[in-house]
Amino acid sequence: MNASTGTLAVLAAVFTIGSASAEERANQLFGALKTASDQPPAAIGSYARGCASGLVELPETGPTWQAMRLSRNRNWGHPVIIDYLRKLSLAAVEAGWAGLYIGDISQPRGGPMTSGHRSHQIGLDADIWMLPPDRLDLTRQEREDLSSISVRTRDQTAVNENWSDAHMRILKSAAKDPRTDRIFVAAAVKINMCENAGGDRQWLQRIRPLYGHNYHFHIRLKCPQDSPECITQSPTVAELSKGGDGCDETLAWWVTDYLEQLKNPPKEPAQPRRGVRDYVMADLPASCEAVLNSG
């Protein structure tokens, strides 16, 4: 290779790198949109790599719920989860609460978010606060300032005094809904539920332990029939639970080996992995381009 050819090769490489880095990230594109797409409802892609068309806005306040952190504009979801949350809020009233404080669902067109979640991208995830509502007439500012409560001890091995039988009944109602795929809770919560569920236990398999879910529980619904491009999560809950209730030796791992890992975290890789906030449109399903550009 002569000097001239080498110079051209270097310039071509620089140009390619510059073009790739200049491509706008998907979370900035989807995060900037304030309304849903003018398309039929559909969940597209996977929970952590996708988007959603025709989403519906959960009203900011209802007779048995309030949407929290309204400044985020994340109270949008597939019609099936909006219906689900309305019904779950009624179950919360039956359990003795005033209703539910509902956290993030999705952005108006789903997609990667500028902050927070890896998932919540296809309008089928929702966070429910562990805090029992005192009242359902909070102002917008109060919804920004109020915080939820943790229901586990600081050492993460057990539930604390904030946990109640009402929490148990609400989570059981959520898990028994056939539309539910799985519900993420702190490991201590799952352990307590396993110990106190009694003979009716099959619904417990949908309650899954996951770090970081002590202030809220995270509902994830199954792919709806109107969404052929929706990708079912793998492994399924049945595979994870091996047909049982999920109260097995793998649950103990979360309060033994995993806590040890937190004390001695593995070294960061020399080359950081690309995360959700690094995605560009080419990383998402092709149909997301139409969702992004729809009226």
Read off the pLDDT band of 8 (50, 70, 90): very low
Quick one: average pLDDT of 141-166?
95
CA 164 to CA 246: how far, in whole Å? 21
Q: Is 185 helix (H, G, I), strand (E, B) or coil?
A: strand
Task: Return the DSSP state at 71.
Answer: G
CA 3 to CA 16: how far, in whole Å? 20
Q: Is the pTM of this model over 0.85?
A: yes
CA 44 to CA 56: how far, in whole Å? 15
**Of 41-45, 91-95, 115-119, 136-140, which range is least confident?**
115-119
Sign of CA dihedral 279, 127, 90, 241: positive
Listed residue (32, 45, 31, 205) closest to 117, CA to CA: 31
pLDDT at 3 over 50: no
The pLDDT score that the predictor gives to residue 11 is 40
Mean of the per-residue pLDDT values of the chain: 88
CA 183 to CA 209: how far, in whole Å? 8
CA 285 to CA 49: how far, in whole Å? 8
Query: How do residues 162-171 score in pLDDT, each as one tens digit?
Result: 999 999 999 9
Query: How do residues 209-259 score in pLDDT, each as one tens digit?
Result: 988 899 999 999 999 999 999 999 988 888 888 778 888 766 777 766 666
**Of 16-20, 114-118, 265-269, which range is least confident?**
16-20
